[in-house]
Amino acid sequence: GAGVSQSPRYKVAKRGQDVALRCDPISGHVSLFWYQQALGQGPEFLTYFQNEAQLDKSGLPSDRFFAERPEGSVSTLKIQRTQQEDSAVYLCASSLGWGARTDTDTQYFGPGTRLTVL
């Protein structure tokens, strides 16, 4: 079946612009995650949704970052007044369950959106 999809795949923004990144999780997956991956580094956790509820947003770098999943399916990560340090790949992942304790809670990742802020 279809995996996690993200759009756009590439985004170039001028400093100060707002951007919106979209994630379509695997159908029926309860949990949705956003990660930020800087060049040459591993992904870092940003936020976690269980259905439409945002249960953890501790990884969001600043109040310029906002995520939502209003109907418990598609999610949008919005970055306001982008800065150069926001340049990174933003990865979305979804899982059937709501933990990471068993194989059924494996997180499936999308291809990511590469954001470049000039």
Partner 1 sequence: SQQGEEDPQALSIQEGENATMNCSYKTSINNLQWYRQNSGRGLVHLILIRSNEREKHSGRLRVTLDTSKKSSSLLITASRAADTASYFCATDEVDSSYKLIFGSGTRLLVRP
108 binds partner 1 (CB under 8 A): yes
Q: Which two tokens stand for residue 22?
A: 């979209």
**Strand order of the sheet with strand 19-24?**
5-7, 19-24, 75-79, 65-68
Nearer to partner 1 (CB atom), residue 79 or residue 91: 91
Q: In Å, how far from its chain's centre is CA 1? A: 21
Stretch that binds partner 1, among 18-26, 65-73, 76-84, 89-97 (CB under 8 A): 89-97
CB contact at 8 A, 29 and 92? no
Q: Is 25 in the site for partner 1 (CB under 8 A)?
A: no
Contact 110, 43 (CB under 8 A): no
Query: Nearest approach, Cβ of 16 to partner 1 (angstroms)?
Result: 28
| Nearer to partner 1 (CB atom), residue 2 or residue 14 | 2
Does 98 participate in binding partner 1 (rule CB under 8 A)? yes
Segments in 1-118 forming alpha helices (H): none
Residues that bind partner 1 (CB under 8 A): 4, 31, 33, 35, 40-45, 48, 55-56, 91, 93, 95, 98-103, 105-112
